[in-house]
Amino acid sequence: MIRALSIALFSVLFAGSALGEDIIAVEVSEGTGAILRGLDKVSGIPVDLPLAIGEAVALGWLQITLGDCRYPVDNQAGDAFAWLVVRERNAEQPIFEGWMVASSPALNALDHPRFDVWVIRCTID
């Protein structure tokens, strides 16, 4: 009986979320660049990668290009999200293209056997 009531209460409380009714709009600002962190999984050495929008940087044999960086107005450090394009050296087809979120790096992660890349924050200078 208690289990049935708990399931019913859970269903009522979260029904709106499943239907998309609890979507919250957040005001965002655009940064001038981003700080990414790269990790060589073999050597275990992390490196910070400062990038301006439109700039590309190398991490091993990967080329990482920053397309955009945005952050919530009320949380510049924690919830930045950046549009990244990652290619193997001299490759036309990207191995990753999309938004990466600083607070949830596993949400849309680069899947590479040697390197990890994640967003730290947007820069505004």
pLDDT of residue 125: 82
Q: Which residues contact 9 (CB under 8 A, 6 or more apart)?
A: none
Per-chain mean pLDDT for the chain: 83
Is 7 inside a domain boundary? Answer: no
Is 17 inside a domain boundary? Answer: no
pTM, entire model:
0.77
Is 22 inside a domain boundary? Answer: no
Is 3 inside a domain boundary? Answer: no
Is 67 inside a domain boundary? Answer: yes
pLDDT of residue 4: 35
pLDDT of residue 87: 97
Is 78 inside a domain boundary? Answer: yes
Q: How is residue 6 written in tokens?
A: 């708990």
Range of the domain at 76: 28-123
pLDDT of residue 65: 97
**Number of domains forming the structure of the chain:** 1
pLDDT of residue 106: 83
pLDDT digits (tens, 9 = 90+) for 50-107: 999 999 999 999 999 999 999 998 877 668 999 999 999 889 999 999 999 998 888 8
Is 42 inside a domain boundary? Answer: yes
pLDDT band, very low/low/confident/very high, at 7 (cuts 50, 70, 90): very low
Which helix or strand (DSSP H or E) is residue 33 part of?
strand 33-40
Is 91 inside a domain boundary? Answer: yes
Over range 113-119, report the average pLDDT.
95
3-state secondary structure of 64: strand
pLDDT of residue 6: 32
